[in-house]
Amino acid sequence: MRRLVVAVALGLVAGTCAGYLVQAGRAPVKLPPLSQPSLAQAPDHDPERLSAAQDHQVKVDGDLRKLLLKRPGGTRANPAIESDDGRLDLSAYAELYTKPDGAFRNLVGDEFRRAAITGWIESGDRRVEIRLIQYRQVESRSAQEAAFDGRSYAADDAHTRSWPVPGTGDGEFFVHDRPRSGSGYEAEAHAYRGDIAMEMWVWGTKPVSPARVRELARAQMERL
């Protein structure tokens, strides 16, 4: 048994020595270089800024009044518009509600940023008013919620028909088939895009054409 153990040990030593001799007899292998090829770097200049047509945020951060529809030719100024220059701050916009104090608090919570307004009088006595309301939207999607609230209020009338606003996800316009509270016949539209909610009203002594409201709402949303 002892002879067997000695023989095994001698075999291991002999194998190890043979391995060293074989390795020593080989030609040395060149190691790969430590340095790596240099990587291509980006050009040393700032990327070209997107134009307003390409970057939605560039467009909506400018003068909000420029995004409103232009007054069509052949129309008259609407003296009922609640602004001399087309701007509405928080207090002025809150005053348009039936309960301004509560509206003011809600708008503060909704992160109101600013609003713009325009309007005109078309043939006969048909009046148009359009508002754009922009929110900061740091903690909520207030523009979407505002459009939803407007649609919900407009739809809460048994004598009302509604259609989608073309080019919007869930924008709608409404035509009320009966006169409403002394203001005559009324139609309205509510939609949003990004951080801007759109509100539109059309009034007249005769029923308002759905085609006219549809066209106005479509054209206004295309400007956002």
Confidence at residue 142, expressed as pLDDT on a 0 to 100 scale: 96
Confidence at residue 48, expressed as pLDDT on a 0 to 100 scale: 58
Alpha-carbon span 194 to 118, nearest angstrom: 20
3-state secondary structure 125-159: CCEEEEEEEEECCCCCCHHHHHHHHHHHHHHCCCC
- Out of 85-94, 137-146, 177-186, 194-203, which region has the weakest mean confidence (pLDDT)? 177-186
Q: What is the DSSP letter of 171?
A: -
Confidence at residue 61, expressed as pLDDT on a 0 to 100 scale: 80
Residue 218: how many CB atoms within 10 A of its CB?
A: 17
The pLDDT tens digits of the residues spanning 61-115 come to 889 999 999 999 999 999 888 888 999 999 999 999 999 999 999 999 999 999 9
- Answer whether residue 17 shows pLDDT above 50: no
CA distances from 209 to 15, 98, 130, 202 (A): 102, 27, 17, 10
Residue 52 near residue 58, CB atoms below 8 Å: yes
Confidence at residue 92, expressed as pLDDT on a 0 to 100 scale: 95
Tell me the torsion sign for CA atoms 177, 179, 180, 183: positive
Q: What mean pLDDT comes out for the span 6-33?
A: 49
Q: What mean pLDDT comes out for the span 20-32?
A: 53
Structure-block tokens of residue 128: 């148009």
Nearest to 207 by CA among 160, 165, 166: 160
Confidence at residue 177, expressed as pLDDT on a 0 to 100 scale: 93
The pLDDT tens digits of the residues spanning 28-59 come to 555 555 555 555 555 555 555 555 455 556 66
Confidence at residue 183, expressed as pLDDT on a 0 to 100 scale: 77
The pLDDT tens digits of the residues spanning 125-162 come to 899 999 999 999 998 899 999 999 999 999 988 899 99
- Answer whether residue 1 shows pLDDT above 80: no
Global confidence as pTM: 0.73
Alpha-carbon span 150 to 128, nearest angstrom: 17
